[in-house]
Amino acid sequence: MSQKLQVAARGWLLAAGLFVGANLPAHAEIYTVPIIIDSEDDLFDLFENGDISESEMDLLMELYQKKVDLNRATRDELYELPGLTYPMVDAILQFRREKGDIKDVRELEKAGAVPYIVMKQMEAFVLYGRPKLQLDAPVHGSVRLKTLYQPMSAGGVGVDAGSFDEGGGGGFDVSNIRRSPSVALRSRITAMGGRLDASWTISGRDLPGRLNLAGTPDNPYYIADSPRFRLEPLRKAYAMYSADLGDQGRGQVVVGTYNAGFGERLTFDSTNRRRPYGLYGDDLMFDNVGGLGRFNSDFRVHRGLQGVAGSVQQLPVAGRITLDTTGFLSMRAVDEYMYRYRPNRTYFNEEAAAGGEARCTAEGRCHSFETFRDVYVHQVGGGNMRLNLGSRSYIGSTAYAARNYFTEGDEVVNFAPAARQPVRRSFGAFGIEGAYGTGIFDLFGEFTVTDRGAPAALIRTLYDLKPVALEVTGRYYDKGFDNPFSRGEASAGQFLGMRARDEAGLKVRAEGRPARFWRFIGHVDSWIHPAQERHDLEFFMRHEFDLSRKVRLSGWVRYFDKDIWVGGRDQDYIRSPVVNYDDIYDEDDPDFAMEELRASRTDLARGLRKEFGNQMRWQPSKRFLLTAYGRMVWRDVSVYDESFERNVSTWIRGSYKPVPWLDLSSRVRFWDDDIDTIAEDRSGDGVLDFRRGNAFLEVYGRVAVSLPKRLRGSFRYDVRTFTDVKVRDRDPEHLLRLTVEAFF
């Protein structure tokens, strides 16, 4: 892209940001659906439906597992709860000052601090006073056991294609493999009057052996044992101590696994939070049970930091001005998916390697689709300083420096473009952030530059003008902004493995309640990719109608065009054409051109996606709830020259509580990836296209038991039957999930 166009994009963003900052005031983070849940399974349902993103699910899962103490949480911590606006947060803080401790979240609705729908969203994520059992004990906490198991049938494929047998050829037929259960045991304790918080997680699961570099410098490859059950005794562990320093503020020290984040998440953030500030102990592990393909009985581990960190907050400076300072050091070995580094060819043994590269995967001699342990070591150190100018205004700065090296073959191995980490070994960033708030107005901003001088900027304003609330965000990310710790507002697409890169855009969100029974929420997001000469547009609108407290109807539309200047049905929304080096060569930055040439093909995909959906929620009593859901998606794919691919998803879910301590639920779901064709013979040789036409019927049943303050547990059983012709002869897949948690 020409330099003039890049300069124009920056100028347009700056002008938009100044306009926004001058004219708009503040509303909290807006989810596209009300987050009303009773269990972790409800969050998975929202994610599978596309109602929340993976990062939103991770945040909500963290809030659900750890809870937010309504009587101790700060303004920013309360702001993380779904549905809350800043005025509502301030009303909760005022309620605490005037009435004392909150004993039940319903008190806030009765006092007018939050509306009924927001109170229902908060219920699953909050604590309001610790149980007497915990208050009387010098040490209290919980122990949680979670296991996932995927039983195998005699004739079907029950595990992913990465679990090949060491000697066996059979292509993707891995029915001779028996996957062991994945198990995670997590212990949490709180002691010393709440000043000490600690956690320890042990996990056991099927894992491949560690990588060992082999071959020659001209033909390097790896050797690694086949997957088997392995124990990880220190998967996650931390101890965090907090202390009140009297007139000198308060301090905090954490050792082990932790997360840190600051400002608008532009310079440094390893958390899942929308408004992170400071240090957080990390013991997060999530179910990674697969998506719309095969089940996967494994855990997904949040990639945080590991080392030592400390902070001192509210150091008095002058008058109301206080100083916060945070420092952190981390060194951790990182597991990595094999297709995110090069070279990645990995044989089971030297005998398998002797057969050469051709068909090594199909013949069962190579690993595929595996995540290997301790592929590289990540070192990072940095800090943040912030001057608090008032309860809602501050100015600060964040900086960090980092280095990566591979544990095997550091001289010949490097990251693939689809990886989040930069290709170069050492990198860093420096940023300045600030905020100003008064009344119902809040303005936030951050400017960051990498060690190579690539800039990024974000400005966000929030406004709550009843009955309509607005949020406007302007953003700019340079094409060379390769900061892996940047998690600022950005589109869902990736460029060279990162979302926050090569993008300039403006996003407007709106939420309103014109009547007590009617709520709408939507956004318009328009952005350009300067280096790709692309202009994308996304529109979303959802309407909800509360016909009564028992019945809620909702419907939504979503429109996403990956390049508004390119039309026609010959585009492909998912896959992009092969990149031509001559088209993207930049003589001023040849390294960047080589990176782009090797980039993931999804970076340059074009096409249109349209979605329509509706949902009905019926709760005739506190004991029974029925939810029905349907969605249709039209999407450009290259095999259709004059029409869209049509995808349909529908499900119905019911839950029943015969007694307060017992919850029974079940769901039936049908998914068809392309209702017009089961599988496409694109080559004309009678071979089906295995990337298309997935269709399945899925059923799950769940039993949950809860004994207040002592014990809770759940058991869930899923069965999925594929109905498309590619796998119609395969036996159904099964997945079992068991969770038991005891409190002391």
Mean pLDDT to the nearest integer, 676-686? 50
> How many contiguous H segments (helices) and E segments (strands) does the chain have?
11, 34
Instruction: Determine how β-strand 346-347 pairs with β-strand 219-223.
Output: parallel
CA distances from 198 to 140, 241, 253, 283, 308 (A): 11, 9, 12, 9, 14
What residues contact 336, with CB distance under 8 A and at least 6 apart?
371, 372, 375, 376, 419
Backbone angles phi, psi at 712, to 5 degrees: -150, 150
For tokens 């329509």, name the residue. 612
Q: Which of 502, 384, 526, 404 is nearest to 454 (CA)?
A: 502
Q: Please tell me the predicted confidence (pLDDT) of residue 486.
A: 93
3-state SS class at 106: helix
Percent share of the chain, pLDDT over 70: 82
Q: Which of 481, 431, 455 is nearest to 10 (CA)?
A: 455
Burial of 356 (0-12, 13-18, 19+ CB in 10 A): exposed
Res. 689: pLDDT tops 60: no
The residues facing 336 across adjacent strands are 372
Q: Please tell me the predicted confidence (pLDDT) of residue 494.
A: 62
Three state DSSP letters for 434-477: EEEEECCEEEEEEEEEECCCCEEEEEEEEEEECCEEEEEEEEEE
Q: Please tell me the predicted confidence (pLDDT) of residue 496.
A: 59
Whole-number Å distance between alpha carbons of 67 and 105: 13
Whole-number Å distance between alpha carbons of 672 and 678: 9
| pLDDT band of 600, cuts 50, 70, 90 | very low
Produce one character per residue of 686-721: b if its CB has 16 or more CB atoms within 10 Å, e if not.
Answer: eebeeebbbbbebebebebebeeeeebbbebebebe
| pLDDT band of 129, cuts 50, 70, 90 | low
Whole-number Å distance between alpha carbons of 26 and 464: 5
Asked if 628 contacts 48 with a C-beta cutoff of 8 angstroms, the reply is: no
User: What does the DSSP assignment read for 109-169?
Assistant: HHTTSS-HHHHHHHGGGEESS--HHHHTSSEEEEEEEEEEE-PPPSSS--S-TT---SS--
Q: Please tell me the predicted confidence (pLDDT) of residue 87.
A: 76
The residues facing 670 across adjacent strands are 650, 697
Res. 94: pLDDT tops 60: yes
Whole-number Å distance between alpha carbons of 604 and 577: 7
Whole-number Å distance between alpha carbons of 435 and 264: 10
Mean pLDDT to the nearest integer, 419-427? 88
Q: Please tell me the predicted confidence (pLDDT) of residue 161.
A: 36
Q: Please tell me the predicted confidence (pLDDT) of residue 646.
A: 87
Q: Pick the residue with more confidence: 298 or 544?
A: 544
Q: Which of 308, 437, 483 is nearest to 383 (CA)?
A: 308
Backbone angles phi, psi at 242, to 5 degrees: -120, 140
pLDDT tens profile 2-40: 443 443 444 444 334 433 333 333 334 467 778 888 888
Whole-number Å distance between alpha carbons of 270 and 303: 8
Whole-number Å distance between alpha carbons of 502 and 102: 46
Q: Pick the residue with more confidence: 361 or 230?
A: 230
Whole-number Å distance between alpha carbons of 347 and 351: 9
Backbone angles phi, psi at 386, to 5 degrees: -140, 130
Res. 624: pLDDT tops 90: yes
CA distances from 703 to 170, 573, 654, 717 (A): 38, 40, 12, 9
Asked if 479 contacts 448 with a C-beta cutoff of 8 angstroms, the reply is: no
Q: Which of 385, 377, 398 is nearest to 450 (CA)?
A: 398
Mean pLDDT to the nearest integer, 478-494? 85
Mean pLDDT to the nearest integer, 426-446? 91
Helix axes 40-49 and 54-66, enclosed angle (nearest 10): 170
Percent share of the chain, pLDDT over 90: 35
Produce one character per residue of 366-404: b if its CB has 16 or more CB atoms within 10 Å, e if not.
Answer: bbbebbbbebbebebbbbbebbbbeebbbebbbbbebeb
**Positive or negative CA dihedral for 58, 60, 62, 64?**
negative
| pLDDT band of 134, cuts 50, 70, 90 | very low
**For the chain, the helix, strand and coil percentages under 3-state DSSP, each to the nearest 5:** 15, 45, 40
Q: Pick the residue with more confidence: 611 or 549?
A: 611
Whole-number Å distance between alpha carbons of 459 and 17: 6
User: What does the DSSP assignment read for 51-96?
Assistant: SS-HHHHHHHHHHHHH-EETTT--HHHHHTSTT--HHHHHHHHHHH
Res. 463: pLDDT tops 90: no
Q: Please tell me the predicted confidence (pLDDT) of residue 495.
A: 61
The predicted model scores a pTM of 0.84
Asked if 177 contacts 206 with a C-beta cutoff of 8 angstroms, the reply is: no
3-state SS class at 172: coil
For tokens 């095997």, name the residue. 408
CA distances from 212 to 58, 337, 350, 364 (A): 33, 16, 11, 19
| pLDDT band of 681, cuts 50, 70, 90 | very low
Q: What is the mean pLDDT of the chain?
A: 80
What residues contact 707, with CB distance under 8 A and at least 6 apart?
661
Q: Pick the residue with more confidence: 404 or 409?
A: 404
Res. 176: pLDDT tops 50: no
DSSP state of 264: T
DSSP state of 421: S
